[in-house]
Amino acid sequence: MIKPLGSDTLNPLFVYDETKHHELNKEAEGLPSLLINSAAAANAVMLGAGYFNPLTGYMDIANATSVADKMQLTSGQFWPVPVFNRTDDISAIKDAKRIALRDPNVEGNPVLAIQDIEAIEEITEEQGNFIAKKVYGTLDSEHPGVATFNSHGKYVISGPIQVLSFSYFQQDFPDTFRTAVEIRNEIKEHGWNTVVAFQTRNPMHRAHEELCRMAQKELNTDGILIHMLLGKLKPGDIPAPVRDAAIRKMVDIYFPANTVMITGYGFDMLYAGPREAVLHATFRQNTGCTHFIIGRDHAGVGDYYGKFEAQEIFDNDVPEGALEIKIFRADHTAYSKKLNKVVMMRDVPDHTKEDFILLSGTKVRAMLAKGEAPPPEFSRPEVAQILMDYYQIEG
């Protein structure tokens, strides 16, 4: 198992000590409070869970700009994307030094964390555009990540936090949500030294399943971590509970026992393509994984990114030695009618498009909505059934 980013041991910001936790919750009742946005709440959860090691809280504009520009804090510490707490309304906190952050995603808006305010700054349009362009590669308001980023507010509240809750993730996904600390502990319990991680925000079809097998075989790893995003997605993406059920069914039937860990993390999707690929690699290093699969258009959306930009960024932009985790570079995988198995397209140069079973996402969704299962070469029938049930209920 490899070390976390930037420290010898993981330093999660969740307050585990029961006495201290109770004291802070009591203190929070008398503090000025701020109802934060979903992105800031997800950042708090990730800080609390250790995925954002070695960060200690939310960034100021100088650090966020430095990270956007060259993937380094002003201290020189590597980090791939800004971690903000932004709002449009500071009236309740403008003179405060310590505030309670309230959860926008849980009924009643309970306290999520306590923040010590180091600065409240107003971000200019120029600064916001610079950061957005660097992180997302575009300023197009049709890009879901850019649209969300632009909605976060003009005031940047920076400073360290103490996390008191993992929001709705533990309650809604008790069998799946895991902190980076818990994943490290589980890897130790398995006795695994090498682990390859697979990121997903979608159900896994045959190509994804076989890609995990290919990576494990080629890298000779002890285990596979299937690590799914459980937070907010763009409209049209399949909800986390459905994905979770589909992935569990696939692993239960088609993978040997004790070779796969199915877990999830509480973060909202950025759709930032190459930059998000680097962030995803950082998460997995903090969980102790030694390898991470990155395929075509990883974390992309629409046509904003080149098919292999998410791999190339590790060669061109990530400072040498910044990450210890190794990248497994995957090509598009699909079922070969010639070979009767799933292959990476780069490994079969003699194939033409007609030699593969290729279905667009639009086509698959239309089939599922009609109660038609995709071919078994594309999707396991048990997985297809879960997805058909969902799409037919959705209507």
DSSP 8-state assignment for residue 197: E
Q: Answer left, alpha or beta for residue 210, where phi above 0 means left and psi between -120 and 50 means alpha.
A: alpha
The model's pLDDT over 328-338, given as tens digits with 9 standing for 90+, comes to 999 888 888 88
12-62 tens-digit pLDDT:
999 999 999 999 999 999 999 999 999 999 999 999 999 999 999 999 999
pLDDT computed for residue 197 by the predictor: 97
Question: Residue 1 and residue 288: Cα distance in Å, rounded?
Answer: 5
Domain coordinates of the chain in residue numbers?
A: 18-167, 175-265+273-394
Query: Taking the domain 175-265+273-394, which CATH number applies?
Result: 3.40.50.620
Spatial CB neighbours of 277, under 8 Å, sequence gap ≥ 6: 294, 298, 299, 310, 311, 313, 314
Q: What is the pLDDT of residues 49-99, one digit of tens each?
A: 999 999 999 999 999 999 999 999 999 999 999 999 999 999 999 889 999
- Give the closest residue to 161 by CA, choosing from 12, 9, 37: 12
Say how far residue 323 (Cα) sits from the centre of its chain: 17
Taking alpha carbons only, the member of 395, 332, 333, 331 closest to residue 365 is 395
Q: Give pLDDT < 70 ranges for the chain.
A: 393-395
The whole-angstrom separation of Cα 65 and Cα 74 is 9
What would be the CATH architecture of the domain defined by 18-167? Roll (3.10)
pLDDT of residue 302: 85
Where in the sequence numbering do the catalytic residues fall?
201-202
DSSP string, 233-257: --TTSPPHHHHHHHHHHHHHHHS-T
Contact 212, 205 (CB under 8 A): no
**Residue (of 188, 174, 57, 172) closest to 114 by Cα position:** 57
Q: What is the pLDDT of residues 101-113, one digit of tens each?
A: 999 999 999 999 9
Contact 210, 333 (CB under 8 A): yes
Q: What is the pLDDT of residue 395?
A: 52
What pLDDT does residue 353 have? 86
Under a CB-based contact definition with an 8 Å cutoff, are residues 227 and 176 in contact? no
